[in-house]
Chain A
C-alpha cells in the first residue's frame, strides 16, 4: 500500500465532524464540477416538487457544512436510494454515499423515534426480521395480509399504502429446501457430476461459490434461488449457502444505519471467511450485490469488506465472465409458451453495476424467448419507498414510463433481477414477472 493510499480519504476510518461517527464527506465535493448530469437522472426530482435533486442534496449541501451544523435538509427523506445519480456522475462524486450518510444523520438527530414515520420505516426496513415469523404460517399470513381490514389498518395506522398487494410467502423457504436437499454435500456431488460430464476434472477447488440469496428469494420467491443453485451446479460449481442477514439495502434507504451496520457486519464476517477459502460470492438480486459491492465499502471498514466487494458478482455476470454462457445458450431453447416475448426492465441497481444490458444481450441468443428492453427509466418502487402511503403516488408517477413501455410488448410476461421492481411491474401491468435465472434454469438444466 503506497503512502498515498494509506493517507488517502477513507471516510470510514474518520470520525464525523458532527457526531463523532465515521464520515466527513465534504472532500467528495472536490470532484463535482457542476455539470448537473446527476439531476437529469433523478427519477424523484422529475416528479416530486419537494425534492431538490442529487446535486444539491449531495456535493452542494456537504460542501456548505461546518462543524456544529446540525440541520440536514429534510428533503433527503424523499430520495429513494435508486442510486442512478452515482451512475450519471462523470466525476466520481460519492453521491449515494452522501445521501445515505445524510439520511442516517437526519433519522438519528432530527426524526422522532416515536413518530409513526420512524416506526413504519423501521418495520419496512426490517422486513427480514419479520419474514421468518410470517413464513412459519405462510398461508395464514398471506390470508391476513390480503384482508381489506389489514390494509385499512396498515394505511391508517402505519402509513403503509393499501394500494399494493403484499407479496405471498412461500410454503417452503429456500433454506428449508436447501437443507432438505442435503446442503453443501449434495451440491458438491452434483457439481462433480457436471464437471465429469463436461470432461473436466471432478475435483476443482476453484469452482466454489457462496450464495447470498437475500431475504426475498428465501421467503417469497424460492424458485429464483433454486434456479441459481441448479444453474451453477450445471456449470460445475459447488454452492455454499451460509447463514446470512438482509443485505441492508432497505435500511440504508430509510436511514436506519444502526440496523444496517449490524446486518452488514454479520454478512461481511461470514462471507469474508468463505472468500478467504477461495469462494466467490454470488447474488441473484441486484440490490444485494450493490450493497455488498458498493455500499459496504463506502460505509464500513470491517476486516474483509473490500475483499468481499471485489469477489462479489451477480449470477449472470459471473457465468458470463467465467464460462461460455453465450455459446451454451445459443445451442439451447426454452418453451416459447412459457417465456416467449419478455418485457425486461433493468433495475437501477443493475444499471449502477453495469449489468443493465446483459440479460437481454445473453437471452437474445436463446431460442424460445425474445427479451425486449422496456427502456432505462426507474420502476419507481425502490424497495420500501413505494410502500409508503405518502410516496405511493410519486412511485407510480415514476413508474409510468416503464408501464407504458411494458404495455407495448405483445406478451404479458415481464422479467427483471430485482424483487421489488418485479412487484412494481406486476402491480402496474398485471404481468407475470420472471427472473433471468429461471430462464437459464429452463434452458440449461435438464
Chain B
C-alpha cells in the first residue's frame, strides 16, 4: 500500500507538532495526521512549564521538577527532557523568556498574574516584576476583558500602579464583530470614520484613530496593556505604530478563545514543520489501526466519509490531547482512549471524577494514559500496549496541568523526547 512514512504522529496540537518536528529533525520521514484545527486556537499562547506545586507558586521550575511525584510526565523525561522541549520551542517561535530559568509573571485577562516560562514578545513589556506604571485598555464590545476590573485587582497585587479604561473601538464596526475581525482591521490598518466636519466625513487609519482615543487617558503610564488582539499577521507593526504614536511601550494580555497569540504560534509551528519536510494530512479522524505480525501497529486508519484510508509507518505517536482535545473520551460508564483503546484509569463511580468545589482537586483533570520511561502507554499489567506506540501531551495522565500551569511544558518535553526516541528506533 502506498502511503508510508517512518514516524506517524496522530494529533496536530502543540504536542503533535513538537513530536513531528523533533522526529523530522532527527532525519525521519514524518507524517502528521490531524483531525481538526489545534487547541492552540483557544489556549492563551503562553508557554507554561510549572507554575505551582501543591499550591505554592514556583519561581524556578527547574529547581522544582524533582519534587514532583514519580508518575508525573516530567519525571519520565527528566529535567533534560524539559530543557530539550524548551530548546526546540525557542528554535521555532519568536518568544521571550529564554534568557532565564525563572518564571515570569504575566497579567491575565481575569486580573490575576500567572507564572509562565515563555511568553510572546508582544506580552513581554507587561511583566509584573517590571515596575513601570501601567494603563490597561479594554473595548466596549470585547466583553471578555474589563480593563477597570482587571486593573483594580492587579493593583492589589503588583508593585506598581495600574489603571484601566474602557473605550469604544474606533470605526463603525458591528457590535458583534469578532475579535479576529478587529485584529485584521489593525493588521491592514484599514481607514475608519472618525466623525465628520462640515458634513464631510473624516477618516484615518485605524491604528492612528486608536492611539488618538487613548491619548487623553495616558496620564503617567509608561506602558499600555491591550487584550491580545493587535493583529494576527503583523502584530509587530501594529504595536510599533501604537508605540510611536503614544510614546510608551505597548503589550498584550493573553485572552480566552479565540486566541490570536495561539493562532500566531500555530502559524510559526506550521512553517517550521514545512521547513523540516513533515508531511501533514488534516481534516479526518484516525479511528482505528492495523496490526503487524508481532502485534505491533502497522498502520493507522483514517476515516473519510465512510472510506478507510490506511497510513503506514514504523513508529507511531499518540498526541490527540485530553478531554478538551478529544483524545480522551467518556460516557456514563467510563473513560476511554478511543483509537487504540489504551488503558485510562478512572474511578468506577463517575461522581468521583470531580469534587464539590469548582477548583478542587479533580480526578478528571488527571485522566489520561499511563506510560513507561519510554513514554509507551501501559496496559493493566503494566506492560506496553504496543512496542511501537508512544503517547505525549494532553493524552497523558497523572498531572493536573491547569492547576500546575504546566500544559505547554508537558507537551513540549514529552513531544520532543518521544519524537527523538521514535526516530532512533527507525534509524538507529
Q: Across the two chains, which residue of chain A brings its CB closest to B174? A: A49
B58-89 Cβ-contact flags toward A at 8 Å (1 or 0): 00000000000000000000000000000000
Residues of A within 8 A of B258 (CB): 35-37, 39-40
Residue A303 is within 8 A (CB to CB) of chain B in the complex? no
Residues of B within 8 A of A354 (CB): 281-284, 302, 304
Max chain A CB contacts within 10 Å: which of B3, B305, B306? B305
C-alpha spacing A317/B41, complex, angstroms: 29
Partner of A52, one of B39, B176, B184, B310: B176
In contact, A320 and B3 (Cβ under 8 angstroms)? yes
In contact, B279 and A87 (Cβ under 8 angstroms)? no
In contact, B284 and A324 (Cβ under 8 angstroms)? no
Partner of B283, one of A39, A91, A352: A352
Chain B 286-317 residues near chain A, CB threshold 8 A:
302, 304-307, 309-310
Q: Across the two chains, which residue of chain A brings its CB closest to B33? A: A354
In contact, B284 and A353 (Cβ under 8 angstroms)? yes
Residue B325 is within 8 A (CB to CB) of chain A in the complex? yes
Chain B 1-35 residues near chain A, CB threshold 8 A:
1-3, 35
Q: How far is the CB of A372 from chain B (nearest CB, A)?
A: 10
Residue A310 is within 8 A (CB to CB) of chain B in the complex? yes
Q: How far is the CB of A229 from chain B (nearest CB, A)?
A: 21
Q: How large is the interface on A (under 10, 10 to 19, 20 to 34, 35 or more residues)?
A: 35 or more
In contact, A321 and B309 (Cβ under 8 angstroms)? yes
Residues of A within 8 A of B281 (CB): 354, 357-358
In contact, B37 and A309 (Cβ under 8 angstroms)? no
Q: How far is the CB of A71 from chain B (nearest CB, A)?
A: 17
Residue A90 is within 8 A (CB to CB) of chain B in the complex? yes
Q: What secondary structure prevails in chain A residues at the interface with B? A: helix
**Interface size counted on chain B using CB atoms at 8 A:** 38
Residue A293 is within 8 A (CB to CB) of chain B in the complex? yes
Q: Across the two chains, which residue of chain B brings its CB closest to A87? A: B283
In contact, A294 and B280 (Cβ under 8 angstroms)? no
Residue B114 is within 8 A (CB to CB) of chain A in the complex? no
C-alpha spacing A88/B233, complex, angstroms: 19
In contact, B263 and A40 (Cβ under 8 angstroms)? yes
In contact, A35 and B326 (Cβ under 8 angstroms)? no
C-alpha spacing A310/B42, complex, angstroms: 33
Residues of A within 8 A of B280 (CB): 357
In contact, A56 and B305 (Cβ under 8 angstroms)? no
Residues of B within 8 A of A50 (CB): 174
Q: How far is the CB of A94 from chain B (nearest CB, A)?
A: 13
Residues of A within 8 A of B172 (CB): 49
Known: A39-B180, A311-B307, A326-B2. A87 touches B257 (CB 8 A): no
In contact, A324 and B257 (Cβ under 8 angstroms)? no
Residues of A within 8 A of B305 (CB): 293-294, 297, 309-310, 312, 353
Q: How far is the CB of B423 from chain A (nearest CB, A)?
A: 20
Q: Across the two chains, which residue of chain B brings its CB closest to A309? A: B305
Residue A89 is within 8 A (CB to CB) of chain B in the complex? yes
Residues of B within 8 A of A361 (CB): 279
Residues of B within 8 A of A90 (CB): 35-37, 39, 325-326
Q: How far is the CB of A245 from chain B (nearest CB, A)?
A: 20
Residue A306 is within 8 A (CB to CB) of chain B in the complex? yes
Chain B 32-64 residues near chain A, CB threshold 8 A:
35-37, 39, 41-42
Residue B178 is within 8 A (CB to CB) of chain A in the complex? yes
A42-64 Cβ-contact flags toward B at 8 Å (1 or 0): 00011101101100100000000
Residue B160 is within 8 A (CB to CB) of chain A in the complex? no
Give the 4 A-B residue pairs with the shortest CB-CB distance, closest first.
Answer: A310-B306, A354-B283, A293-B305, A36-B258
A-B contact pairs, 22 of them (CB 8 A): A34-B257, A35-B42, A36-B41, A36-B258, A37-B36, A37-B258, A39-B180, A40-B180, A46-B178, A47-B184, A49-B181, A52-B176, A52-B178, A87-B283, A90-B39, A293-B305, A310-B305, A321-B309, A351-B283, A353-B284, A356-B282, A356-B283
Beyond known contacts A90-B37, A310-B307: 9 more, CB 8 A cutoff = A35-B42, A35-B258, A37-B37, A40-B263, A49-B177, A87-B37, A89-B36, A297-B306, A321-B1
A interface vs B, CB < 8 Å? 34-37, 39-41, 45-47, 49-50, 52-53, 56, 87-91, 293-294, 297, 306, 309-313, 317, 320-326, 351-358, 361, 373, 401
